[in-house]
Chains A and B, each alone.
Chain A
Amino acid sequence: MTETTKNEASRTQGRLPYSQLRRRWAKLRRNKAALFGGILILIFIVIALLAPVLFPGSPSAPNLMKSLERSSLEHPLGTDELGRSILGRIIYGSRISLLIAVGVVSFGLLIGVPLGLVSGYYRGKVDFGIQRVTDTMLAFPGFLLALALVAVLGVGLKNTVISIGISMVPIYIRLVRGCALSIREEVYVEAARAVGTRDIVILLRHILPNVMVPITVQTSLGMGMAILFAAGLGFLGIGVQPPTPEWGTMLSSGRAYLFHSPHVATFPGIAIVLAVLGFNLLGDGLRDALDPRFRL
């Protein structure tokens, strides 16, 4: 019995039973890098939520008398070319970045997961159609696709989310389709069909929960990627528009003063690195902790 239990634990995928979740959580906590990533993200979330408390003034109001100042007590990270506090803009920028990350991933999940499930479960012509579109989208480098979509949709926060979101949809379709393909061949799916379960119920109750683990991992990694993409679009001046405090846009405007006042570009850059690093470390940690191939 103990032997089979162990075996099963290593074979079980997807939404995990409670006792296993606890063990996986313990494993995740032991992973120092993942813990560090998680803490980083937590800090950014707290900063985003408490932005008005941490920085009472407006992050966008210019004060040209104080442009390009080095760090001081009033402005710990100095000011930018319009005299705005860089710390304040980074604090408010975390709101924008997290909003973009959540928006993009939700977009990717809402469209990618159902399409992936249908594609993998039904196979046939539906699968063929969805996969050829996916192939076409994956043929573009992700960032280039987002760039092209911005060119079509226009700039701004909403369009940034939509463009990056669309460019991520094929990743989710592929991921979910692959899992659905293997899970639909499981005997328990056949058993569910043998008792007359409807296809929609099989998809939502039997297959989707078994795909949750890879989706969770991809969600974390995807958020990091979304922040990076948004910063990239901002840097090119076609993402979120000034005066909204967005890290990539800040980086771009600081570029002009790189030799005279390097802090203007450096600190937003560090913020981007830390946020992306946080999501990536957490994602990797989740993957290791939830991977059924690793024995507990």
Chain B
Amino acid sequence: MNGQVKPLLAIHGLATRFHTFEGMVNAVDGVDMEVFPGETLGLVGESGCGKSVTALSILQLLRCPPAEIRGRILFEGINLLDLGREGIRKIRGNSISMIFQEPMTSLNPVLTIGEQIAEAIVLHQGTSKQEAWERAVEMLQMVQIPEPGARARDYPHKLSGGMRQRAMIAMALSCHPQLLLADEPTTALDVTIQAQITSLMARLKEEFETSIVIITHNLGLIAEMARRVVVMYAGKVVEEAPVEELFKEPLHPYTQGLLGSIPWIGRKLKTGRRELQEIPGIVPSPLEMPEGCRFHPRCPRVMDICCEQEPPMVRLAEHRRVSCWLEAK
């Protein structure tokens, strides 16, 4: 990725917070990242680190209030946060689409699969219902659902989880969006279906030239699909790297911990350890963020400065940055 290519999506200083009875929750706190045309970006982190909220903030699917979104989200140079309700509605599904974790509940039980896919097509492309239906069936064919014509007339309860996720993907891609936000797309599926959905998404990405932001805590999925990875912890970006470099040489202790907690079969890591490692402790409560580096209470290489000052973001190469005092020196 050279510097000439303009990013499709550029997020600057995104901060999303929620006003709650217990106080202000900073779910996303100053996130910067870029997505380039045609690339797959992985967004990784533990549960509650703000990955999903980042995606929901992009499409402004959070209710405001209690949520409050600040910063700039530039999509093709236009700040999505300035668009207003009607403006962002035209972007949703048309230029930016989203698929969700729960295929079992993300389809309306009272509408047929075809109706639900056609709805988005009629909405954004202004086609006739007949045309939209045909396109819906075509999309079901593309996501490799057997007998798409018959399945389009089925209600969601007749489909298995994997089939439903395919239907969701068909719905999300029906208007050929430039960007697809996939929020844990395979988490709720069993392993063989996960593999099928993964390869399907990879194939469709090539076909439609869609950029994908894949949000997951599954590093295997990242290794398989993403080219570049952004690691988040407690609402902040802690590391960004091309996928090979991240797996080869993770710089942030948190990323190292994440990689150390994956079971590797029959292979020794470079560090020589074979045992499965865990990251001690839990993600801090967003109501009581620790001072300094947010990872310091759990960090195995914690230094004095980590407890006092927030580490700066150190840019090592074009797509290589890390926020850690170890690198900042």
Contact = CB atoms under 8 A, between A and B. Distances in A.
A139 interface: no
Contacts of B116: 192
A190 B106 CA distance: 8
B128 interface: no
B317 to A, nearest CB: 34
Given A4-B160, A187-B100, A197 B119 contact: yes
A187 B59 CA distance: 15
B94 A196 contact: yes
A8 B123 contact: no
B110 A187 contact: no
A195 B120 contact: yes
Interface in A1-38: 1, 4-5, 8-9, 11-17, 20
Contact of A12 (B90, B109, B168): B109
A247 B293 CA distance: 79
Residue of B102, B110, B120 contacting most chain A CB atoms (<10 Å):
B110
Contacts of B106: 187-188, 190-191
A198 B89 CA distance: 8
Q: Give the most central of A20, A123, A196: most B CB within 10 Å.
A: A196
B153 to A, nearest CB: 10
Contact of B157 (A9, A186, A190, A206): A9
B108 A5 contact: no
A5 B157 contact: yes
Contact of A194 (B61, B90, B104, B160): B61
Interface string B91-120: 111100110101011111111000010011
B160 A187 contact: no
Given A5-B158, A196-B94, A210 B59 contact: no
Contacts of B102: 187
B105 A194 contact: no
B217 interface: no
A188 B61 contact: no
Contacts of A17: 109-110, 155, 157-158
A283 to B, nearest CB: 22
Interface string A71-98: 0000000000000000000000000000
Nearest to A20: B157
A133 interface: no
B298 interface: no
B108 A206 contact: yes
Given A12-B157, A210-B110, A188 B119 contact: no
B108 A196 contact: no
A280 to B, nearest CB: 27
Contacts of B94: 196
A194 B183 CA distance: 12
B229 to A, nearest CB: 24
A158 interface: no
B155 to A, nearest CB: 4
B161 interface: yes
A17 B98 CA distance: 27
Interface in A181-204: 186-198, 201
Contact of B61 (A4, A193, A209): A193
A120 to B, nearest CB: 13
Interface string B117-131: 001100110000000
A205 interface: yes
Nearest to B88: A196
Contact of B91 (A9, A196, A205): A196
A205 B119 contact: yes
A257 to B, nearest CB: 55
Nearest to B183: A194
B119 A210 contact: no
A186 B105 contact: yes
A271 to B, nearest CB: 38
B201 interface: no
A195 to B, nearest CB: 3
A191 B56 CA distance: 11
B172 interface: yes
B172 A195 contact: yes
B43 interface: no
B251 interface: no
A17 B153 CA distance: 11
Contacts of B172: 194-195
B89 A4 contact: no
Contacts of A187: 100, 102, 105-106
Nearest to B115: A205
A191 B110 contact: no
A240 B15 CA distance: 64
A195 B92 contact: yes
Given A195-B120, A206-B111, A4 B161 contact: yes
A14 B156 CA distance: 14
Contacts of A191: 98, 100, 106-107, 168, 171
Contact of B123 (A5, A12, A13, A196): A196
A1 B61 contact: no
Contacts of B98: 191, 194
Question: Which 8 residue pairs across A and B have the least CB separation, nearest first?
Answer: A195-B93, A196-B92, A8-B157, A196-B93, A17-B155, A195-B120, A187-B106, A194-B98
Interface of A: 1, 4-5, 8-9, 11-17, 20, 123, 186-198, 201, 205-206, 209-210
15 contacts: A4-B104, A9-B157, A12-B157, A187-B102, A187-B105, A188-B106, A189-B108, A193-B61, A193-B92, A194-B92, A196-B90, A198-B89, A206-B108, A209-B110, A210-B108
